[in-house]
Chains A and B, each alone.
Chain A
Amino acid sequence: MTDASPGIYAAAWRRLGRNRAAVAALVALAVLVVVSMAGPVVSSFSIDHVDWSLSPLASPPGLANGHWLGTDGNGRDLFVRVCAGTQVSLLVALLATAVSLLIGVAWGATAGYLGGRVDGWMMRVVDVLYALPYMFFVIILTVVFGRSLLLIFLAIGAVGWLTMARIVRGQSLALRQQAFVDAAITLGLPARRIIARHIVPNVIGTVVVYATLTVPQVILFESFLSFLGLGVQEPLTSLGRLVAEGALEMEAAPWQLLAPSAALALILLCLNFVGDGLRDALDPRQR
């Protein structure tokens, strides 16, 4: 027991700071972001520049010709493309996850806390959306609104929040039975406030862990959309796309698969460590 206890989030940061794996993962992610931003600026190639001086066009990694990670089958610099792909994938992952977090937590906590008929109806909406084939949904969206990155965030987020809502609702149902919620009700606090102050903060641990699991899913989903031609457009690229293209040339030009795969694996691994660390750090009962 300490005298004055630090703020719960300050304490969480401190605990996170003591978690070596999480810190290392955060540093690695930061490096990755910086490199992916700076790479295209520093490099003398752009993502759609075809280096006709190469023969064959797909060149293995080397320092001599300036293509540090080699080139793809069309003679475009792979380092620059992996950088661009990392940017896109991270952006899609973070924004889509944020969208699904926002809607999912609000929806699930409200349904779980209010319970009864409201809960029934809110969760039926989730069930109906679950039942809709999401590809259909995404295709219609792209046809109606044209293709854009923003649309991909929305489309993925709109699908992702369903599971989040279910998880949060389950937790809220359990929390509603707790004595502190009864105490808050007896105090006459409005439902809005009870949900925001007494329910949501108590599900954050679960939510954070699930969100870190969502990020890789979203990255993979985006690459699937791109593969179908519904995702980002050439010459812009994403890690999922690069992996898909690299996989085709796996035997002849393994670097085309290895470079984007390594970046993707690094991101996923780091996010897992960070999520683990956050879960431990956010539990106030830990010391």
Chain B
Amino acid sequence: MAEAVLLSLDGLRVSFDTEQGPVQAVRGVSLEVRPGECLAVVGESGSGKSQLFLACLGLLAANGRAEGSARLQGEQLIGAGERGLAVLRGARVGLVSQDPMNALTPHLRVGEQLMEFVLDRGRMKRPEARIRALQLMESVGIRDPETRFDQYPHELSGGQRQRVAIAMALMPGPALLIADEPTTALDVTVQAQVLDVLRRLREQGLTIVLITHDLGVVAGIADRVAVMYAGAVVEVAATGQLFSMPRHPYTAALLEAIPRLDTKPGDRLVHIEGQPPRPHERLQGCPFAPRCALAQGRCRESEPGLDWSGGRASACHAPLPGGWAA
């Protein structure tokens, strides 16, 4: 069992101390990432999807606190301390951030940044590191890597920088790549190219966690999807199942809200009524209940737990029946 799970989160909570009191950004998430899969974590802004994985890497802001358990290949990450984390980081987990413009240090040549890790650890000599960096640059689709290698980040476009950031995260040969909205800041054609890179890496056996708010991105690449709402996972399912038969009304509403090609001009775009709960709000019952068309009495009283059956899970008192088609 332990062999079949790469990263296992168990009851992970993240809270931030603010002037208005503690804010729960992640309210007890249990999730498994299996070797070789691409798991997409989907949610609105503020649903806690990024904080969840930043917490695993010990990258929370100074006022953030993580509780619960996150095990990478069996090793506890929460509370491991800087020293413990430094060993785990890099070697086993790579992070690609949202903002390619800021992902690279402006005054270091692309090649220097790529080689920094392996040189610092004394894992490789320079010529060797250079060869590996060039190979990785090639494999993430950077044309003419030899030239790019000696350039500065500002001489590269956003898409190229994101590719370099991916290559940099891959330099140590991590088991897991966490991509936090890697395409958000890019325009659509470049988005597709970067996703292509991720897809190819996944085919080569890399495990990827893709954090995104874009269901279109998910459809093309993910094996499984975890939908988050208000700091909790509300549904986990294989991508195909999720799109064809969502169980949680929130998932269904999200799918409903994707603009379609057959929407006539002048038709109103579908959206979900209301707002997600605000961070300081005390939650009672299902956090989605106030916006849910199918909410019943008990939805407002008790919060449903994540219910696993048939390889998928949803957290809803009144899940949609199977066969519901978007």
- List residues of chain A with CB under 8 Å of any chain B CB: 1-5, 8, 115-116, 178-180, 182-190, 193, 197-198, 201-202, 284-285
Instruction: Determine the distance from Cα of A178 to Cα of B153 in the docked complex, in whole angstroms.
Output: 15
* Pairs A–B under 8 Å by Cβ, sample size 26: A1-B155, A4-B147, A8-B107, A8-B109, A178-B102, A180-B104, A183-B104, A183-B169, A185-B57, A186-B59, A186-B95, A188-B87, A188-B88, A188-B89, A188-B90, A188-B117, A188-B172, A189-B90, A189-B116, A190-B120, A197-B105, A197-B116, A201-B108, A202-B107, A284-B152, A285-B106
Q: Does A193 contact B90, Cβ atoms closer than 8 Å?
A: no
Contact A187:B107 (CB < 8 A) given known A5-B152, A193-B120, A284-B154: no
Interface residues of B in 87-140 (CB under 8 A from A): 87-91, 93-95, 97-99, 102-109, 116-117, 120-121
Considering the complex, give the chain A residue whose CB is closest to the CB of B110.
A5
Contacts of A187 in B (CB 8 A): 89-90, 94, 116-117, 168-169, 171-172
Check B150 against A4 for contact (C-beta < 8 Å): yes
| B2 CB–A CB distance under 8 Å | no
Q: How far is the CB of A62 from chain B (nearest CB, A)?
A: 54
A186–B116 touching, CB < 8 Å: no
How many of B's residues come within 8 Å of A, CB to CB?
A: 38
Q: Are A186 and B155 in contact (CB under 8 A)?
A: no
Contact A189–B102 (Cβ < 8 Å)? no
B1 contacts the other chain (CB 8 A): no
Q: Name the one of B90, B93, B107, B150 contacting A201, with C-beta atoms under 8 angstroms.
A: B107
B152 to A179, Cβ gap below 8 A?
Answer: no
Known: A185-B89, A188-B117. A5 touches B107 (CB 8 A): no
Known: A5-B150, A197-B108, A284-B106. A115 touches B117 (CB 8 A): no
Is the CB–CB distance between B93 and A115 below 8 Å? no
A202 to B108 Cα, complex, angstroms: 10
Cβ contacts under 8 Å, B59 to chain A: 182, 185-186
Q: A-contacting residues of B (Cβ < 8 Å)?
A: 57, 59, 62, 86-91, 93-95, 97-99, 102-109, 116-117, 120-121, 147, 150-152, 154-155, 165, 168-169, 171-172
Minimum CB–CB distance from B120 to chain A (whole Å) comes to 6
Complex contacts, A5 vs chain B, CB 8 Å: 109, 150-152, 155
Beyond contacts A188-B86, A193-B116, A202-B106: 16 other A-B pairs, Cβ-Cβ < 8 A, are A2-B155, A3-B147, A5-B150, A5-B152, A180-B105, A182-B59, A183-B103, A183-B168, A185-B89, A186-B59, A187-B94, A187-B171, A197-B108, A197-B116, A202-B105, A202-B107
Beyond A4-B150, A116-B62, whether A186 also contacts B57 by CB under 8 A is yes
Q: Which 6 A-B pairs have the closest CB atoms?
A: A188-B90, A188-B89, A186-B95, A179-B102, A187-B90, A179-B97
Report the nearest A residue to B85, measured CB to CB.
A188
> Which residues on A sit within 8 Å (CB–CB) of B89?
185-188
Highest count of chain A CB atoms <10 Å: which of B98, B106, B168? B106
A39 to B151, CA, bound (A): 47
Give every chain B residue within 8 A of A116 (Cβ-Cβ): 62
Knowing A187-B90, A284-B106 touch, does A179 contact B99 (C-beta < 8 A)?
A: yes
CB-CB < 8 A to A3: which residues of B? 147
Interface centre among B87, B152, B172 (most CB of A within 10 A): B152
